[in-house]
Every structure is written in structure tokens, then in C-alpha cells.
Amino acid sequence: MTEFLAQHTPTLTHWLYLSTLLFSIGLYGLLTRRNAVGILMAVELMLNSAALNFVVFNRFCAPATVDGQIMAIFVIAAAAAEVVVGMAIFVALYRYRGTVDVNAMDTMKD
């Protein structure tokens, strides 16, 4: 088993398939989820797919440097900040409205 895995290490292409898949799932979730928290999770998926890209490209395209991995760390930090702010807003809104269903967010339509 280990021998098989050692012989069949995933290549760049496989990793890119994975990140594209993650990005697409995220985009799909963002468009279909009705709960704002779910949407936020979907966005996280998209951000993380990009972070994955950075790490993978670092490993396969520019192995001499660590720029991509540093970028990934920053992406994780920024994404965390985004989630913190987002969740804070959702919680405040939930207290007041009792829902964070995006379909109910229509108080400002003409």
C-alpha cells in the first residue's frame, strides 16, 4: 500500500483538480445556500482552494522559495478575519431579526 502510494504521488494536475473542485463547490454553495452562515462556509471553501493553489504551486513551480506558503498563511489569517467579522454581523442581525436567511433580506427593495 505504502509502496503504491509512493509510486503514485499526486502530481500538480491532481492538486489543481482538487482546488478547482473546491472552488466550484464553494461557488455552488454560495449561490444555492439560503442560510448566511452556510454561504460564509462556502466562501471559506473558495478562499481555501486558492490557498491550496498557492501551496501547491510553491511546491511544484517554485520550490526554491517559500513565498507561496507564506501567502497561504496570510490567506488563512485574512479569511479568519473575514469570518469573524461576518459572524459578528450575522449574530447581531440574528438577535434582531431572528433569522439570517438571505431570502428574507429584502427590506430595501423598492
Contact footprint for another protein (CB under 8 A) = 23, 26, 30, 36, 39-40, 43, 46-47, 49-51, 53-54, 56-57, 61-62, 67-68, 70-71, 74-75, 78, 81-82, 85-86, 88-90, 92-93, 96-97, 100, 102, 105, 107-108, 110
CB neighbours (10 Å) of residue 26?
Answer: 21
How many residues are given for the chain? 110
Q: How many CB atoms lie within 10 A of CB 23?
A: 18
Shortest distance in whole angstroms from residue 108 CB to another protein: 5
User: What amino acid is encoded at 84 in this protein?
Assistant: V
